[in-house]
Amino acid sequence: MQASAIKIEDGFFDQQVSREGKYLTFALAGEEYGIGILKVKEIIGLMPITPVPQTPDHIKGVINLRGKVIPVVDLRLKFGMPGVESTERTCIIVVEIATLGNKIAMGIVVDSVSEVLNIKAAEIEDTPSFGTKLDTDYIRGMAKAGHGVKILLDIDKVMSSEEISQLDTAV
């Protein structure tokens, strides 16, 4: 019996494998999103957020989480969605993002957390081009789950380096 070889071109195989895994799914404006579970540190209920002057609207401010000051970003506003009043399901997902050689804890406000899904590479498709110059670098792919589609985010790329430096100065 002859062994078959897998040809890896342009990192395609690596990209497919690296997107597979467990994702924490959450809702924003009725759409379902997912972020890699290894980036999630914890999920907390909405708590008082201290605004920081002269930061963009989507940077809500900072919270004190067990003595550590953490910047908080509203993903609705970051993605250009209208802001809404928080509900009992609104929560903050504390994630760890890697940028410029550092790891930074950041809170993201979401409408609700759904579940943890194990998503296989075969269920993930590339992001459509949309025929425009939309920045979709922060989207890892589209996962077919059940009858719907979940947008898988690369949380390290959701914020630009400029925004991350603003987060750093906000803390």
- What band does 130 get if pLDDT is binned at 50, 70 and 90? low
In a domain, 132, yes or no: yes
In a domain, 102, yes or no: yes
In a domain, 62, yes or no: yes
For 41-88, how does the pLDDT look when each residue is reduced to its tens digit (9 = 90+)? 999 999 999 999 888 899 999 999 999 999 999 999 998 899 888 999
d(CA 59, CA 57): 5
Nearest to 26 by CA among 85, 65, 75: 75
pLDDT at 166: 62
Q: What residue numbers bound the domain in which 41 lies?
A: 21-168
Query: Is the Cβ–Cβ distance between 117 and 22 less than 8 Å?
Result: yes
In a domain, 85, yes or no: yes
Q: Which of 11-25, 69-83, 115-129, 134-148 has the lowest mean pLDDT?
A: 11-25
pLDDT at 159: 81
In a domain, 3, yes or no: no
Question: Residue type at 55?
Answer: T
CA–CA distances in Å: residue 20 to residues 6, 105, 109, 120: 18, 23, 25, 5
In a domain, 10, yes or no: no
pTM of the model: 0.82
pLDDT at 99: 76
Q: What is the CATH number of the domain that holds 123?
A: 2.40.50.180
Domain total in the chain: 1
In a domain, 6, yes or no: no
In a domain, 112, yes or no: yes
